[in-house]
Amino acid sequence: KRKHRMDLLPDQLVRKSIKHGFCFNILCIGETGIGKSALMSSLFNTNFDNSPSTHFLSSVRLRTQTYELQESNVLLKLTIVKTLGFGDQVNKADSYQPIVDYVDAQFEAYLEEELKVIRSLFSYHDTRIHVCLYFISPTGRSLKTIDLLTMRNLDSKVNIIPVIGKADSISKTELQEFKKKIMSELVSNGIRIYQFPTDDETVSGINTMTNGYLPFAVVGSMEKVKVGNKMVRARQYPWGIVKVENESHCDTIKLRRMLCTNMEDLREKTRAYYESYRCCRLEKLGCRDIGPENKSISLQEVVEAKRLEFCLEKEEKEKKIKQQFMQKVNKKAAVLEEAEQQANTHKQEIMSYEEQLRDLGLFSLK
């Protein structure tokens, strides 16, 4: 009887998901040297291969690296996208544009796969960005103009989680005031950041508490320091030690826990952003669910209508080109005819002069 029970369906879905693994894509935006690579290594407890970036790039670039991580029996295909040269240019006004273009390009690639006649979305490597960790410099003052511009142009496309990079460089009192100021500026500028969901009873308590920690104050390090009889990941300074995995020292572990707890919600929100992008793109292509008379129309009807529209437009262009060509031909023919008439006139004049010369008994021009 057990094999016919409907309550086994969740177990089947779990086994299927574990078998094929999960993909998760993180976009790290921040100035050069803010600690993006160190934080990624700390979050996933893995030394990722990272070549140092220069401060002298002429424009902002993005570096994409994909890794396969195994934890227990769960396989995670992790893609980390980091900005290179962000904030290093003299003119920072358009620093966000390459990032926006990249996010849109991942949506477009998924849409192209979705619209193929023969598609394989199940095995397709989904590169849509699930979360954007936006690194804020620990100035202790306020957000920079480049921060506001970048987040404002991304908040309708991706889940933004603001983090204060290298948060151990300012005191705890300054850090708390800085957090309040950042959140106040985000609200006053109408910038939407990701809020951990509180509608699920299983995580509502911890998510409500975690929303109060935003933005996360993070510190990253893979260096081991001996504290007592234990070796812990930390950053050592002349004045003391900052433990990466100590929640009273920084929010790195809080961030890791919340990413793992809300990973599926982040993926679901990303699908919602994609649906908005997809809707706009298809509308621009002329696809509609409702026709002129508020009647539903099929995709075949839409394609046929677009094909007819294209054919009519093509015929109109061909007709216009032929008319322009004939006008040029007629104009050229008129010029040639006028030239021929002038040549005939000159010829008649020459013949008349020769006749006069012969009458006078002089030599002909021939």
Tens-digit pLDDT profile for residues 243-300: 888 888 899 999 999 998 899 999 999 999 999 999 888 878 766 666 666 666 666 6
What is the chain's mean pLDDT, rounded?
85
Write down the pLDDT at residue 150.
95
DSSP-assigned beta bridge partners for residue 24: 78
140 with 63, same domain: the answer is: yes
365 pLDDT tier (thresholds 50, 70, 90):
very low
CATH of residue 48: 3.40.50.300
150 with 272, same domain: the answer is: yes
Write down the pLDDT at residue 347.
86
Bond preceding residue 215 cis, omega within 30 of 0: yes
Q: Residue 151's domain spans which residues?
A: 6-284
- Per-residue three-class SS string for 294-331: CCECCHHHHHHHHHHHHHHHHHHHHHHHHHHHHHHHHH
Averaged pLDDT for residues 151-179? 93
Tell me whether residue 1 is in a domain. Answer: no
pLDDT in tens, 269-280: 999 999 999 988
173 with 220, same domain: the answer is: yes
Burial (CB count within 10 angstroms: exposed 0-12, middle 13-18, buried 19+), residue 31: buried
Domain boundary among 253, 284, 315: 284
With CA atoms as reference, report the closest residue to 63 among 20, 115, 27, 101.
27
Say yes or no to pLDDT of 3 above 80. Answer: no
DSSP characters over 218-275: ------EEEETTEEEEEEEETTEEEETT-TTT-SHHHHHHHHHHTHHHHHHHHHHHHH
Give whole-number Cα distances, 303 to 282, 299, 308, 313, 325, in Å: 12, 6, 9, 15, 32
Please state, in angstroms and rounded to a whole number, the distance separating the CA atoms of residues 267 and 265: 5
The tokens for 234 are 């930390």
215 with 253, same domain: the answer is: yes
Overall domain count for the chain: 2
What's the predicted TM-score (pTM) here? 0.76
pLDDT in tens, 314-357: 888 989 999 999 999 999 988 898 888 888 888 888 888 888 88
Position of tokens 């994409």? 64
The tokens for 170 are 């300012």
Please state, in angstroms and rounded to a whole number, the distance separating the CA atoms of residues 161 and 171: 22
Please state, in angstroms and rounded to a whole number, the distance separating the CA atoms of residues 26 and 66: 10
Say yes or no to pLDDT of 225 above 90. Answer: no
236 pLDDT tier (thresholds 50, 70, 90):
confident
DSSP-assigned beta bridge partners for residue 27: 81, 132
255 with 118, same domain: the answer is: yes
77 with 203, same domain: the answer is: yes
Domain boundary among 284, 313, 331: 284
Burial (CB count within 10 angstroms: exposed 0-12, middle 13-18, buried 19+), residue 203: middle
Domain boundary among 262, 284, 306: 284
Residues 6+ apart with CB under 8 A from 210: 196, 254, 258
The tokens for 144 are 């920079």
Please state, in angstroms and rounded to a whole number, the distance separating the CA atoms of residues 84 and 65: 13
